Amino acid sequence: MKASFRSVIKKTLPEPLKQNLNRMRYALERAAQLPLATLHPWRRQSIRSLARYQNCHAGERCFIIGNGPSLKQTDLNLLKNEITFGMNRIYLAFNEMGFATTYYLSINSLVIEQCIQDILTLPIPRFLSWRSRYTFTNPPDEDTIFLHTTYTGPIFARDIRGRLWEGATVTYVALQLAFYMGFKQVVLIGVDHNFNTQGKPNTTVVSQGDDPDHFHSGYFGKGFRWQLPDLETSEMAYRMAKSVYEQAGRQVLDATLGGKLQVFPKVAYRSLFE
């Protein structure tokens, strides 16, 4: 079988040129998204709502709660009076925690698509990727705020009313959101940065049974479609976040019990409440 013209071009072009062409293609794709992501009435409403959050927690502390198995060994009751960000299917822990997180965030299209009814019942501000608008049959309520997140174009957005790079993890978007809100100190918990399920990053798979990679066996339970993690890209994003926070005289700490992430300074979880 003859090789396709595209595959021949891929093999013959110098690597730097291929990278430049890819960057140009991604830039054009992002530019094509801008009109709707800026002018659509739902996004205009979200941009107005986001303006009210700028520096609303200036100088305060918050916790970003990941969804790793370590949460099962973490005393979440200590967070009851803290400002917290919950992500994706964190609501599966709300009953055991005894409270809902202050804010909710999800950017993964597969998670939102499969869990939209659960998400819309959460009685807290909900930050969702603009891509998820297709799952809405009615206009969003005032607690639903769309973020214009993209897969490409690495940046750390200090103003989240514009475009945000996802950095291959919802936690990175949460760090950008927390920065915009003015938090002085951000503490990560449940960010295990370690997965038992292996495979090519970003590949969509269907769970075949209980979930070993999150705090709840039914988190991505049997039949749930999800994407394998891209830990290398996530680490690059985390290093960008660390740099921006430090330049601003702020701090990100990692209090995950047994976590594998090595980017942020480690701190003992319980020591934060002494």
Q: Does residue 162 lie within any of the structural domains?
A: yes
The domain of 88 spans: 14-273
Q: Is the pTM of this model over 0.85?
A: yes
Q: What is the pLDDT of residue 184?
A: 98
Q: Quote the number of domains for the chain.
A: 1
Q: Does residue 2 lie within any of the structural domains?
A: no
Paired tokens of 264: 């942020």
Beta-strand pair 185-189/61-65: parallel
> 42-95 pLDDT, tens per residue?
999 999 999 999 999 999 999 999 999 999 999 999 999 999 999 999 999 999
Paired tokens of 77: 């009751």
Residues of the chain by 3-state class (helix, strand, coil), percent to 5: 40, 15, 45
The CATH number of the domain holding residue 178 is 3.90.1480
> 118-177 pLDDT, tens per residue?
999 999 999 999 999 999 989 999 999 999 999 989 999 999 999 999 999 999 999 999
Among the residues of 15-143, which ranges form H helices? 15-39, 41-51, 94-97, 109-120
Q: What is the pLDDT of residue 109?
A: 94
> 238-261 pLDDT, tens per residue?
999 999 999 999 999 999 999 999
Q: Does residue 6 lie within any of the structural domains?
A: no
Q: What is the pLDDT of residue 50?
A: 97
Is 201:231 a contact under the CB 8 Å cutoff? yes
